[in-house]
Amino acid sequence: MTDYLIQPWGTVEEDLATVPPEIEDMAKQVATHYEMEVTGMTLITSKPDKGGAIWRIETDKGPRSLKVLHRSPQRSLFSIGAQEYLVGQGARVPKLIQTKEGQNYVERGGKLWIVTEWIEPLTQASKIDLEGAKVLCYGLGEFHRHSRGYVPPKGAQRATRLYRYPKLYQKIITKIGWFRVLATTYSDMSASKHILSMVDVYEQQAREAFEKLNRSPYADLVARGEEYWGIAHQDYGWSNGQQGPGGIWIIDLDGVAYDLPIRDLRKLITSTMDDMGNWDVTWMRGMIEAYHEANPIEPELYQVLIIDMSLPNEFYKHVKEMVYSPTTFLNDELSSLLQRLEASDATKWPALQELSNNWTFTSSL
């Protein structure tokens, strides 16, 4: 058992409610390092393609969460330290339970394991009305505000995306160029013609966003440093931010990294607009205002938010997997998706123009 190293055991499409027996045995062994009597374990979900899993455990101290973090121990130590810091700052994130030795984690199988409170009840904010989105954005703002000043523990890998915006923009420009080459190469595939009719527009959008970023206050903002801005969740949404005791609770902090706080807000807004099929200014303004109420957005940061939304984020997100298997990806299903993206994109620019011309938010803090 001591020699067993946790590795991915499947693909993302496989059953998420199973783990290898060696890992299940290891979970039981890890639990013995805590001052608790475990009376039951239920696997909630797993990441077979990455090597992670979460159990709900019933104990004499109440329900708790047992989790094996799939990233490297050094990277996981960064997120564990962040979780401890956030709890200390009053953020609504699950509290880490310390081991009998007073540690925040157990290392087994080449991974770090943690036990935390099990927060209940948790319910998803409403996705069908603006009020639900505003609640989610307010909770996100609280999270970012509490994260400022975080310093990772000794030995942790310093996870940061703060300085990488220009490289990300350039990467998107490059990849869109690849889409053109692949669609030309596989011109007989059903979606290729549609891709070729769109790539020039989206490539130009990406280039203009990159030029605007270079002229923006971005460099001055990031020069303030990582600890000034704190961390972003990187995967925030309706499943990782849920309503519970006292407000929004934020879970699954494995991927947190230093970043501008607008990264999470931008992802939440653009993915919501993508789901809706059109860019609704009322929703966008409401989401930004709710966030701003919890964590004020200065005008310079707001400018970068607008620029980041102007990138063809959703087009890139939906099409980027084409590079791995163009013959299976360039199908009728993609054509339908591209038609929806085109229709949505037509509503994006008037919405961004209206928002960029109307900085009217005032801090309530």
Q: What is the mean pLDDT for each group of 10 consecutive residues in the chain (365 residues)? A: 84 77 97 98 94 98 98 99 99 99 98 98 95 98 99 98 99 98 96 96 98 98 99 97 97 98 98 96 97 96 98 96 94 95 96 85 39
pLDDT of residue 347: 98
List every span in the chain annotated with CATH 3.30.200.20.
22-117
Whether domain 22-117 has CATH 3.40.50.80? no
Q: Quote the CA–CA distance of 214 and 173 in Å, as a whole number.
A: 15
Q: How far is CA 20 from CA 5, 6, 51, 106, 113, in A?
A: 12, 9, 10, 19, 16
Q: Quote the CA–CA distance of 237 and 271 in Å, as a whole number.
A: 9
3-state secondary structure at position 203: helix
Q: What is the separation of C-alpha 211 from the centre of its chain, rounded to a whole number of angstroms?
A: 25
CATH of domain 130-356: 3.90.1200.10
Q: Quote the CA–CA distance of 179 and 168 in Å, as a whole number.
A: 16
pLDDT of residue 240: 96
Q: Quote the CA–CA distance of 20 and 24 in Å, as a whole number.
A: 7
Quote the pTM value: 0.95
3-state secondary structure at position 290: helix
List every span in the chain annotated with CATH 3.90.1200.10.
130-356
pLDDT of residue 364: 36
pLDDT of residue 358: 72
